[in-house]
């Protein structure tokens, strides 16, 4: 019986040695530092400095102007549109939508930081209405794109580069879309 206890003790001492070596290796290989993180409110200054701000109002105006310019391009949307003109229209839409998305994200982040903030609630409502109005005004593009015959759409998508996936995705909704009267 004594031998069994001695063997058990020997195995435990060996295991203890292995654990000590592992701890030494772990501590030596990876410096363990404990740091604390103090949570602070996020800053939205990278998007817009405040509400209201001249920069935010300028962004609203820029989206409005972009949509007006985009609406003027509508007569070019025919089956005979050139790839160059088509890509100008697509890039104009993207440029305008980027600014609109930035405004939308700013409003949503401001609201999510404090859902009781009256300024954030008002901005979110304003942005929601603004985005809906602007989206309705440029809806003609996606309707035209879905109506375009497959051969012409494929020809335009062939040279569309990174926009191809987006253009294909729009066309997937063709069977479920009501067309303009």
Mean predicted lDDT score pLDDT of the chain: 89
Whole-number pLDDT of residue 18: 73
Q: 29 pLDDT exceeds 60?
A: no
Q: According to the model, what pLDDT value does residue 179 have?
A: 72
Q: What is the pLDDT of residues 64-120, one digit of tens each?
A: 999 999 999 999 999 999 999 999 999 999 999 999 999 999 999 999 999 999 999
**pTM of the predicted structure, to 2 decimals:** 0.75
Q: How far apart are CA 133 and CA 142, in angstroms?
A: 15
Tell the residue number behind the tokens 């930035």, with chain if given.
Answer: 102
Query: Under the phi-then-psi rule, with left for phi > 0, alpha for psi from -120 to 50, and beta for the rest, what region is 148?
Result: beta
pLDDT (0 to 100) of residue 2: 55
Q: Tell me 129's DSSP state.
A: H
Work out the percent of the chain whose per-residue pLDDT is above 90. Answer: 71
> In this model, does residue 131 exceed pLDDT 70?
yes
| pLDDT confidence of residue 35 | 76
Span of 30-44, 123-137, 139-153 with lowest mean pLDDT? 30-44
Q: Percentage of residues in the chain with pLDDT exceeding 70?
A: 87
Phi, psi angle pair for 39, to nearest 5° = -75, 130
Contact 67, 93 (CB under 8 A): no
Distance CA 115, CA 151 (A): 49
Summarised one tens digit per residue, pLDDT across range 32-45 is 566 788 888 889 99
On whether the CB atoms of residues 108 and 124 are closer than 8 A, the answer is: yes
* 48 Rama class: left (phi>0) / alpha (psi -120 to 50) / beta: beta
Question: Model confidence at 142, in pLDDT bands (50, 70, 90)?
Answer: very high
- Per-residue pLDDT at 175: 87
Q: Cα separations (Å) of 99 from 24, 46, 52, 65, 105?
A: 54, 13, 17, 11, 10
């Amino acid at each position: 019986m004594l031998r069994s206890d001695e063997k058990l003790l020997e195995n435990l001492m060996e295991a203890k040695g292995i654990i000590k070596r592992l701890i030494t290796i772990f501590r030596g290989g990876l410096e363990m530092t404990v740091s604390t993180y103090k949570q602070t409110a996020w800053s939205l200054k990278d998007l817009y400095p405040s509400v209201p701000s001249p920069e935010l109002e300028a962004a609203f105006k820029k989206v409005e102007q972009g949509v007006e310019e985009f609406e003027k391009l509508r007569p070019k949307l025919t089956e005979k549109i050139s790839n160059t003109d088509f890509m100008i229209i697509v890039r104009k839409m993207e440029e305008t939508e980027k600014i609109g998305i930035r405004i939308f994200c700013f409003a949503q982040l401001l609201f999510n930081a404090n859902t009781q903030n009256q300024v954030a609630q008002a901005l979110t409502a304003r942005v929601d209405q603004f985005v809906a109005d602007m989206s309705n005004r440029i809806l003609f593009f996606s309707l035209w794109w879905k109506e375009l015959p497959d051969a012409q759409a494929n020809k335009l998508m062939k040279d569309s580069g990174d926009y191809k996936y987006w253009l294909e995705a729009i066309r997937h909704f063709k069977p479920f879309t009501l067309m303009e009267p």
